[in-house]
Amino acid sequence: MNIPINSKDVTPRIIKELTNTLKLIPGIGPKSARRIAFFLINQPDSYLKNFANILTKLKSNLIRCSFCNVVSETDPCSICADEQREKNKIVIVRHSLHLFALEQIKIHSGYYFVFDYQIFSASEITNDPEYKKPLKMLLKRVEYLLKESNEKLEIIFAFSANFEDEALLLDIKKALTEKFDGKIVITRFAIGLQPGSDIDFVDEFTLEQSYKSRQKT
């Protein structure tokens, strides 16, 4: 005789809360979040205190570079402060993580700009005050580099091929062309950044070839 078993979730509430929080991290699914939660439970108090201390300092110890908008410990960041970099090239990325990924493989010797803007409605981009902030910074940065280089500036988009990034690219390109027509050349990474892909997950060889084979847009 099979006796029915009334199963219920006996997971402590605090573990559920931690798991649900960890699931919000990109690339972390429910199972991975649960494993990380139980990993943390099994660590000594000293580890957890240090971990918590790092998380607390994460925001307070970082600022945004007023030149390129990347998260940094200094303003200007180490890249913008480097006078030896090429002033006639600037790569526009979507997130600081993408800048770090590109800089790590040393394929670009110019400057960068992080257009860290969350798109909610492509039709309302140009009317969104949060969009105008990074756009104003970018236009100011381009204007400065044009004066410093005294030659045409190549603006290189390293965006993914998804709908949101494409809509954003078109609006940024329009603003740049209207203000700097004839003084800039706009290109984009040629291959590798497929729909739904992320620069941080593209292999180094593909990124390098994508940069070298960039095309006018």
pLDDT digits (tens, 9 = 90+) for 7-34: 667 789 999 999 999 999 988 999 999 9
Residue 121's φ and ψ, nearest 5 degrees, are: -145, 110
pLDDT at 73: 93
Q: What is the mean pLDDT of residues 187-215?
A: 77
Chain centroid to CA 186: how far? 20
Residues forming CATH 3.40.1360.10 domain(s) in the chain = 64-216
Cα–Cα distance measured from residue 72 to residue 81, given in angstroms and rounded to the nearest whole number? 12
Specify the CATH architecture of the domain 64-216: 3-Layer(aba) Sandwich (3.40)
Cα–Cα distance measured from residue 31 to residue 8, given in angstroms and rounded to the nearest whole number? 18
Residue 194 has pLDDT above 60, yes or no: no
pLDDT at 54: 93
Beta strand 71-72 with 63-64 is: antiparallel
**DSSP alpha helix (H) spans, the chain:** 13-22, 30-41, 45-60, 96-104, 129-149, 163-180, 204-212
Helix axes 13-22, 30-41, angle to 10 degrees: 130
Q: What is the mean pLDDT of residues 194-200?
A: 60
pLDDT at 69: 95
Answer with the residue of higher pLDDT: 89 or 159.
89
- Tens of pLDDT, residue by residue over 156-169, are 999 887 778 888 89
pLDDT above 70: percentage of residues in the chain: 86
pLDDT tier at 198, thresholds 50, 70, 90 = low
pLDDT at 84: 94
Among the four given CATH numbers 3.40.50.720, 3.30.200.20, 1.10.1740.10, 1.10.8.420, the one describing domain 13-60: 1.10.8.420
C-beta of residue 170 within 8 angstroms of C-beta of residue 151: no
Residues forming CATH 1.10.8.420 domain(s) in the chain = 13-60
- Tens of pLDDT, residue by residue over 117-136, are 766 555 556 666 666 889 99
pLDDT above 90: percentage of residues in the chain: 59
pTM score of the predicted model: 0.82
pLDDT at 136: 92
Beta strand 63-64 with 184-188 is: unpaired
Cα–Cα distance measured from residue 65 to residue 179, given in angstroms and rounded to the nearest whole number? 23
User: For residue 77, what are the contacts with CB-CB under 8 A and spacing of at least 6?
Assistant: 65, 67, 68, 70
Among 2-6, 61-65, 192-196, the range scoring the smallest mean pLDDT is 192-196
